[in-house]
Amino acid sequence: MSGIFDTDVENAWCPGCGNFPILDAVKKALERTGKAKHEIVLVSGIGQAAKLPHHVDVNVFNGLHGRALPAALAIKMANPSLTVVVTSGDGDIYGEGGNHFVHNIRRNPDIAVFVHDNQVYGLTKGQPSPTSDPGWAGSLQRSGVIAGPFPPLAAAIALGCGFVARGLASDVEFTADLMVRAIAHKGFALVDILQPCVTFNKKNTYQWYGKMAYKLPPDHDAADRARAFELSLEWEERIPIGVLYRSGDRPPFEELHPGVGDPPLHARETPPDAVRDLLRKRLFTLP
Amino acid sequence: MGVDINIRVTGGAGQGLHTVGGLLGRLAIATGHHFHATQDYMSRIRGGRNSYSVRIREIPVRAGRRQADITISLDPGHLPHILSSTAPAGIVVCDLPAGTAGSGDPRVITAPLKEMAVSAGSPILANIVGAGIVARALGIPQDTVERVLALEFKGDFLEKNRVAARLGGEWMDPRVPSGHRLPDAAFHPRMILAGNEALALGAVAGGCKFAAGYPMTPGSGILHGLSVDGPPLGLVFEQAEDEIAALNMAIGASYAGARAMVATSGGGFALMVEALSVAGMLEAPVVVALGMRPGPATGMPTRTGQEDLAFALSAGHGEFPRLVLSPGSVEEAYALAHHAMEMSEAYQVPCILLTDQYLADTVVDADPGDFPALPVNRRIVRGNEVPRDAKGKYLRYAITGNGVSPMAVPGEPGITVVVDSDEHTEDGHLTEDHAVRIAMVEKRMRKGEALEMETLPPLLAGPPDGEVLLIGFGSTKGVIAEAREILSAGGIAAAAVHLRQVAPFPAGAVSEILDRYRTALTVENNRTGQLARLIRAETGHDVSGTISRFDGLPFTPEDVAERVKERR
């Protein structure tokens, strides 16, 4: 595929990596938004997934491991006219950045968050991630993961996230469609993407996901939060993909935060008279 | 020497010490005098043993004094402790149940503070009764007291406060001790500011438009200032979920073109350290206010220390230039916060403002002329100024002579802004090319060299050469200045050097000054002499020693002077 968002940055992913179809989906989705390159910011942390923004010709903030969300929030607050999309891995968003995941869902800024969820730390060579299945024996946990998996969709629904979806890396069209809807959603939108790691995760493979994943039926009522929560817990037998939950519209964080808005922060002036007024408040004079 | 009266109000948290302390400071200004107020408080919400000291002089005051001349004790249980810090000719006024320890001391005067407060309308007015007592002892007319009260309170509560102050004054009338009366002086309008407030105002005046933070004493006061004084000038404030988020947010806002800052204390700064390094790598202008307190770990949360100098200088993995400023007064807190905003953007480096609990909570009156509205020089490039490659792609990290690459912001039509915490090419994309790595390291280091050219020189006071040189950084400025006066008055010619910038270090200037004095002593609120080590590392000179204090309290001028004498 070649398109307006291509870059010539050398790719560092393994052949067959689930990041390739996710990259295709991201570019398709961004094209469908109709936004110009300069209006979009891709924000990521660290990991193989977090390298994705380098392959999309838009504004890029590739920050620290786990810290994509605080940076994305502030970019959105500084300039709400930008379309801010976070794209990073499960270890990054759910592990290292777990606290920011929790609190930014509470804040509800208008940011779409795409999590490449391959249930493994790939770049550091095969350690279990927060979403690894219990019993899976990766590097550093050779006797098998003891801790229960972090349930991203259930957690997001419980925390009040207004758009909770699951994509499937191998289904580019389907996932791109979820991404378009996530970007269009006004508020924090999560798309957790089932992604095979062809090198380190020999359990959750393309074939395994192909067998386990099923598309939510057209009559699924995404407004039913309790039903969405129930669906978000399905994993052992089969795994639902699609929009599990979509709340009614509510104003996003940056619309509620006093002071955020026009003009963007970079264009705000500091008039000397306003500074003098501020200083005058500290001046003690007798009436 | 003129008038020099130290007043202390002691009691528990929640007894209105801050209110009465503030009131006494205003009374000093209203009568044409000057004051310096410090707080000593415990890490609790109610109760405990806290004090608010207000020192009044005819000249601007920049240090506290150990011994109080007049103490109002709102909690008599503290009497033995209070007497140990009361001047020999001083007085202690308190409500004293019979048999209280220390009650036999001739300096103690029993006053029915609570009873008077109740008859004024509420037991909580005991602090204002105390203010009335002090005002009468100082010879301040009741009319002046009421005018100042009217600036603070309104309506029925103002009336109760007036009555409380009057009752205190009337009770004191027949008991007024000699020697505390303030001479007549002309009133001049003065700024009244705490260190934290001044720092926040300086940042706002310096164009700060985004601030984030997680509460931590003594940094919280700066956050409070930013959140209150910032919004009228377009600053957006966000309370972060943790300090890691706070600095990453500030860096995100900076990427989007906002001047941004955070404020914290040592523990919070420890959490920010990885982000500090990313600011170095992304070349994101950002300001971190670090209010020091004694550590390690939680240490003494509400007390003062200067233990994080070495930490601030070296925090962050990898090598990158930084600016570390150390304001020594409310005037410098204001000016250097503005300077930090300017320099951080000019050189695209993180800047740390190193302060401490003592400066944070010190309130003084200051000359309005020392708080100018200085220009804010934004350096964001747009349109044709944006450096591009042959394909028209913006080179965020364009290699330049002084290492500073013109900064554009996302949203600028026709370009995209790419930044990466990995080593990167000129267009911001990650690279593992060793030649590019070398070029980028050198580019960042050239910024450090350029920054060095603008190093703020140390401030030298006193004789240009001679016997004793005292060297300090940050909050000790006023204390050392007065210690020098005490020493000079005692026949010891001493000079003082104040460092308001510690990185890049003014090595040449300090080295040259050190050569001119026989004995050079650093004065530091830490145990290990971090400034002395820094001077050795930067200049190759050893100082003669360190006057150190690490009990959690600030130096006083007498402390420093006595310890200089011991060392001679």
A66 within some domain: yes
Average pLDDT over residues B25-46: 92
Q: Which of A37, A54, A81 sits opposite B429 (nearest CB)?
A: A54
Block means of pLDDT (10 residues each) for chain A, 287 residues, are 86 95 98 97 97 98 98 98 98 98 98 97 93 93 95 98 98 98 98 95 92 97 98 96 95 97 98 98 91
Domain enclosing residue A199, as ranges:
19-280
Contact B256 A78 (CB under 8 A): yes
Q: Do B258 and A78 touch (CB under 8 A)?
A: yes
Amino acid A52: pLDDT: 97
Taking an 8 Å cut-off on Cβ atoms, the answer to whether A284 and B201 are in contact is: no
Residues B166, B222, single domain; the answer is no
Scanning A249-278 for CB atoms below 8 A from B yields 257-260, 264-278
CA distances, A267 to each of B171, B258, B341, B381, B408 (Å):
60, 8, 16, 12, 12
Which of A35, A256, A279 to mutate to probe the B interface, most B CBs <10 Å? A279
Q: Which of residues 103-122 of A touch B (CB under 8 A)?
A: 103
**Tokens at A201, concatenated:** 């995760």
> Distance (Å, rounded) from C-alpha A271 to C-alpha B92?
49
pLDDT given at position B178: 82
User: In this complex, how many residue pairs, one in chain A and one in chain B, have their CB atoms less than 8 Å apart?
Assistant: 213
Range of B222's domain?
193-370
Interface test with B, best of A69, A99, A268 (most B CBs within 10 A): A268
pLDDT in tens, B428-456: 999 999 999 999 999 999 999 999 999 99
* B5/chain A closest Cα distance in angstroms: 21
- Judgement on whether residues B96 and B167 belong to the same structural domain of the protein: yes
Give the per-residue pLDDT at B179: 84
Q: Is residue B224 part of a domain?
A: yes
Q: Is residue B30 part of a domain?
A: yes
Closest by CA to A228, choosing from A162, A131, A148, is A162
Contacts of B231 in chain A (CB under 8 A): 258-259
| Subunit contact A75:B410, Cβ cutoff 8 A | yes
> How high is the mean pLDDT of chain B?
96
Q: Does residue B279 sit within a domain?
A: yes
Residue A42 near chain B (CB below 8 Å): no
* B109 plus B206 within the same structural domain: no
DSSP classification of residue B161: H
Dihedral sign of CA atoms A273, A278, A283, B1 in order: negative
The total domain count for chain B is 3
CATH of the domain at B301: 3.40.50.970
3-class DSSP string for chain A: CCCCCCCCCCCCCCCCCCHHHHHHHHHHHHHHHCCCHHHEEEEECCCCHHHHHHHCCCEEEECCCCCHHHHHHHHHHHCCCCEEEEEEEHHHHHHHCHHHHHHHHHHCCCEEEEEEECCEECCCCCEECCCCCCCCCECCECCCCCCCCCCHHHHHHHHCCCEEEEEECCCHHHHHHHHHHHHHCCCCEEEEEECCCCCCCCCCCHHHHHHHEEECCCCCCCCCHHHHHHHHCCCCCCEEEEEEEECCCCCCHHHHCCCCCCCCHHHCCCCHHHHHHHHHCCEECCC
Mean pLDDT on B528-547:
98
Pairwise CB contact (< 8 Å): B257 & A265: yes
Give the pLDDT confidence score for residue B97 in this predicted structure: 72
Chain A from 210 to 229: CB within 8 A of any B CB: none
Amino acid identity, position B77: G
- Flag whether B388 is in a domain: no
- For residue A65, tell me if it sits in a domain: yes
User: CATH number for the domain including B511?
Assistant: 3.40.50.920
Domain assignment present for A3: no
Q: Does the ipTM surpass 0.95?
A: yes
Residue B401 resides in a domain:
no
- Residues in chain B within 8 Å Cβ distance of A7: 429
B330, B468: one domain: no
Interface test with B, best of A282, A283, A285 (most B CBs within 10 A): A282
Instruction: Compute the distance between CA of residue B152 and CA of residue B146 in angstroms, rounded to an integer.
Output: 10
Tokens of A219: 């009559």
Domain count, chain A: 1
Q: Which among B260, B278, B279, B282 is positioned nearest to B213, based on CA atoms?
A: B260
Between chains, do A79 and B368 touch, taking CB under 8 Å as contact? no
- Report residue B1's pLDDT band, with 50, 70 and 90 as the boundaries: low
Confidence grade of residue B98 (pLDDT, cut at 50, 70, 90): low
- Is the CB of B373 less than 8 angstroms away from the CB of A273? yes
Phi–psi pair at A205, nearest 5 degrees: -90, 175
CATH number at residue A50: 3.40.50.970
CATH number at residue B18: 3.40.920.10
A89 domain residue, yes or no: yes
pLDDT tens string B259-294? 999 999 999 999 999 999 999 999 999 999 999 999
B429 vs A contacts (CB less than 8 Å): 7, 9, 54
Residue indicated by tokens 């208008």: A110
How confident is the model at residue A182, as a pLDDT? 98
Q: Between β-strands B208-213 and B190-194, what pairing exists: parallel, antiparallel or unpaired? A: unpaired
Tell me the shortest Cα–Cα distance from A137 to chain B, in angstroms: 30
What was the pLDDT predicted at A2? 64
Indicate if B329 and B206 belong to the same structural domain: yes
B372-430, pLDDT tens digit by residue?
A: 999 999 999 999 999 999 999 999 999 999 999 999 999 999 999 999 999 999 999 99
Shared-domain flag, residues B131 and B46: yes
Query: Is pLDDT at B99 greater than 80 in this prediction?
Result: no
Residue A2 inside a domain? The answer is no
- Please report whether residue B493 resides in a domain: yes
Question: In this structure, what token pair is assigned to residue A183?
Answer: 């970007």
Among A37, A103, A270, A276, the strongest candidate for a mutation testing the B interface, having the largest count of B CBs within 10 A, is A270
Q: How far apart are alpha carbons B336 and B333 in whole angstroms?
A: 5
Q: Is A159 on the interface with B (CB under 8 A)?
A: no
**Chain B contacts of A285, Cβ < 8 Å?**
189
pLDDT, tens digit, 9 for 90 and up, residues B497-537: 999 999 999 999 999 999 999 999 999 999 999 999 999 99
> Which of chain A's residues have a Cβ under 8 Å away from the Cβ of B201?
278-279, 282
- One domain for residues B136 and B52: yes
Residue A230 lies in a domain: yes
Instruction: Tell me what pLDDT residue B567 has.
Output: 87
| Residues near A168 by beta carbon (within 8 Å), at least 6 away in sequence | A174, A175, A193, A194, A209, A213, A241
CA angle, B141 as apex, B136 and B143 as ends, to 5°?
Answer: 130
B208 and B132, same domain (yes or no): no
The C-alpha angle with vertex B232 and arms to B231 and B238, in degrees rounded to 5, equals 0
Put simply, the answer to whether A63 touches B282 (Cβ < 8 Å) is yes
Average pLDDT over residues B305-318: 98
Out of B112, B144, B175, pick the residue that ends a domain: B175
Interchain proximity B252–A7, CB inside 8 Å:
no
Q: Where a domain ends, among B351, B370, B389?
A: B370
Give A11's contacts in chain B (Cβ within 8 Å). Answer: none
Residues B364 and B480 both lie in one domain = no
Residues in A touching B414 (Cβ below 8 Å): 38
Under DSSP, is residue B164 helix (H, G, I), strand (E, B) or coil? helix
A213-215 and A189-194: which strand pairing? Answer: unpaired
Task: Inspect the interface and report whether the beta carbons of A60 and B233 lie closer than 8 Å.
Answer: no
Q: Is residue A204 part of a domain?
A: yes
Q: Taking the mean position of all CA atoms in its chain, how far away is CA B235?
A: 21
B77 plus B206 within the same structural domain: no
Same domain, B354 and B212: yes
Q: Dihedrals φ, ψ of B341, to 5°? A: -60, -45
Give one DSSP letter per residue of B330-391, joined into a string.
Answer: HHHHHHHHHHHHHHHHHHT-EEEEEEEHHHHH-EEEE-GGGS--------B--GGGS-B-TT
Taking contacts as CB-CB distances below 8 angstroms, the residues of chain B near A283 are: 189-191, 368
Distance from CA of A117 to the nearest CA of B (A): 22
- Whether B263 and B293 share a structural domain: yes
Q: Is the pLDDT of residue B356 over 80?
A: yes
* AA identity, residue B419: V
Per-residue pLDDT band for B239 (boundaries 50, 70, 90) equals: very high
| Structural domain contains residue B23 | yes
Which amino acid does the sequence have at B547? Answer: I
For B142-172, the pLDDT digits (tens) are: 999 999 999 999 999 999 999 999 999 999 9
Per-residue pLDDT reduced to its tens digit, A182-237: 999 999 999 999 999 999 999 899 999 999 999 999 999 999 999 999 999 999 99
